Amino acid sequence: MLNTFVQSIWSDLGLGQAAGWAKPVLSGVTVLLIVLLAFLSAALARRFIAASHQRLSARADGPEERKRIETLERVFRYIASVVVTVVAFMLVLSELGISIAPILATAGVAGLAIGFGAQSLVKDYFTGFVMLIENQIRVGDVVEVAGKVGAVEELTLRYVRLRDYEGAVHYVPNGAILTVTNRSRLFAFAVLDIGVAYKEDIERVSQVMKETATALRAEPDWADKILDDLDIAGVDQWADSAVVIKCRLKTVAQEQWAVRRAFLGRLKNAFDRAGIEIPFPHRTVYTLPAQENAGAEKSALHSD
């Protein structure tokens, strides 16, 4: 259809009877039009996807839904660019006189062969599609996948790109992901194991912990990050040098680590003020009296 349209314009200009150079020029003009239409189609697709993203984000219930919409926008942009490129490439080949049918047939056979040889690649794409549909991971989430933990910077049908706390970037193929641990959904818990000396009164220690958590929650910087009072599970271990009390604070997602550090810092000061001992490993050294020590040395000499 595009070729017929160009030929009609060519004829209207009175150039339809030009013999040798007309056909190559006509093909070149058609190829340029195909490339131009491909660029326009890609631009329109991007604008349509961006507009849809804005409308859906405006109707989203919260930041969690907006993060999912942003992730889907990235994937649809990638798919649209691939589709436009493939279609334009096929049209250019057809205009240059290269038959597409053998190429498609060859591509089908080659696709089967490659599919058997590159099952991991197919698995990557399939797993990535399923994760997107089920909304398991979104850009900005903190997740653990394939033994790596970090914030999701990019999510494609092929891989997940993570950046860990040290700044290292991990590219995890979707096919290698068997379990997704997402630490960014709705809320989280800052879990703490608090060790105190065996001589301390557990009830008094628990009271100091609750008062410290309540004071932290009342601070303006932490009021909107801590969602509930301190939950003390009770004595969790009798360790070598401490009684370990397990507790947790319910927080906004991705704030559990900051809340944990803030609570531990304030609890250390509160324990110091209350005279509660924070234990550490002790070593007791016994010394023998002088006579016993001399006798032990003689025994050692006789044994030699």
CB atoms within 10 A of CB 174: 26
- Chain length of the chain: 304
Residues near 279 by beta carbon (within 8 Å), at least 6 away in sequence: 195, 196, 197, 198, 241, 242
**Could you tell me the CA-to-CA distances from 294 to 62, 299, 302 in Å, in that order?**
79, 9, 13
Hey, what are 233's tokens? 């599970």
- H helix runs in 96-144, sequence order: 100-117, 119-133
Best CA proximity match to 95, nearest among 147, 28, 42:
28
Dig out the tokens for 148 from the structure: 């790596």
Q: Is-contact 161 171, C-beta < 8 A?
A: yes
Residue with tokens 């630490």: 183
Supply the pLDDT for residue 89: 84
Whether the CB-CB separation of 194 and 235 falls below 8 Å is answered with no
Q: Is the pTM of this model over 0.85?
A: no
Distance, in Å, from the CA atom of 250 to the CA atom of 262, rounded to the nearest integer, reads: 14
Per-residue pLDDT of the chain (304 residues; tens, 9 = 90+): 555 655 565 565 555 544 445 566 667 777 788 888 888 988 898 888 888 878 877 777 666 677 777 777 877 887 888 888 888 888 887 777 776 666 666 666 666 655 555 677 778 888 888 888 888 888 889 999 999 999 999 888 889 999 999 999 999 999 899 999 999 888 999 999 999 999 999 999 999 999 999 999 999 999 999 999 999 999 999 998 899 999 999 999 999 999 999 999 999 999 999 999 998 776 767 776 765 555 555 555 555 5
Note the pLDDT of residue 298: 54
Domains contained in the chain, CATH given: 2-98 (no CATH), 131-182 (2.30.30.60), 187-274 (3.30.70.100)
In eight-state DSSP terms, residue 15 is -
Q: How far apart are CA 291 and CA 287, in angstroms?
A: 12
Torsion of CA 272, 274, 276, 277, to 10 degrees: 30
Under a CB-based contact definition with an 8 Å cutoff, are residues 180 and 160 in contact? no
| pLDDT of res. 66 | 74
In the chain, the amino acid numbered 33 is: L
Q: What is the pLDDT of residues 188-209, one digit of tens each?
A: 999 999 999 999 999 999 999 9
Q: What number of CA atoms fall less than 13 Å from residue 111's CA on the CB side? A: 7
Tell me the CA distances in angstroms from 34 to 85, 214, 257, one per residue in order: 11, 67, 54
> Looking up tokens 């398991």, which residue turns up?
136
Residue 19, pLDDT score = 44
Rounded CA-CA distance 136/170 in Å is 18
Residues 35, 39, 45, 49, CA torsion sign: positive
Give the whole-angstrom CA distance, residue 270 versus residue 35.
70
